[in-house]
Amino acid sequence: MKEKKLFFSGLIFAASIVVSGSALADNCSGNWTNTGQSSDTIDLGDGHTLTTWFARGSVSSANSPFNTVGACGGYVLTTPDGKARTVYACTRKNKDGDSISDSGSMEPGDDYGTWTQQGGTGVFAGKRWSGTWRVLNSDGQTTLGTFTGNCN
């Protein structure tokens, strides 16, 4: 159950975007939500587990083109000391059909994860935006979070 909760919390935006660690000022921000569709936890032995997951969700922003819906997937690797590393990838589309793919991770003990745009079409084409994301609330199935980033 702990892995499942960590998995959904970390996955999300797991998918998609948030606060930049670069020297440039953040200029985009918003909210994201994901609802888990499936997950599977495998005991790797000696206290290590690997949880894979798939979710559908949305991103909304008042100051960027990140008003999209789509899907994310990823994994949570939990070590015997209870620490978990989350890795994800998402692809979403806006109302015009333009798509954006991003990926990111959250390291054990961190409050924020990082994200980087991997590709896109239309308004998202040729961009290499990045930032950070954070989980605000999760019930183990649906997760709500925020993001900020450098979207120049």
Mean pLDDT by 10 residues, the chain (152 residues): 50 39 67 98 98 98 96 98 97 98 97 97 96 96 97 85
- Predicted pLDDT at 152: 80
Q: Is 143 helix (H, G, I), strand (E, B) or coil?
A: strand
- Predicted pLDDT at 26: 79
Q: Name the burial class of residue 58, with classes exposed (0-12), middle (13-18) and buried (19+) by CB atoms within 10 angstroms of its CB.
A: middle
- Predicted pLDDT at 1: 52
Q: Of 32, 19, 13, which Cα lies nearest the Cα of 131?
A: 19
Using only C-alpha atoms, what is the Rg of the chain?
15
Q: Which domains does the chain have, with CATH numbers?
A: 2-150 (2.40.160.20)
- Predicted pLDDT at 17: 39
Q: Of 69, 90, 88, 65, which Cα lies nearest the Cα of 77?
A: 88
- Predicted pLDDT at 2: 53
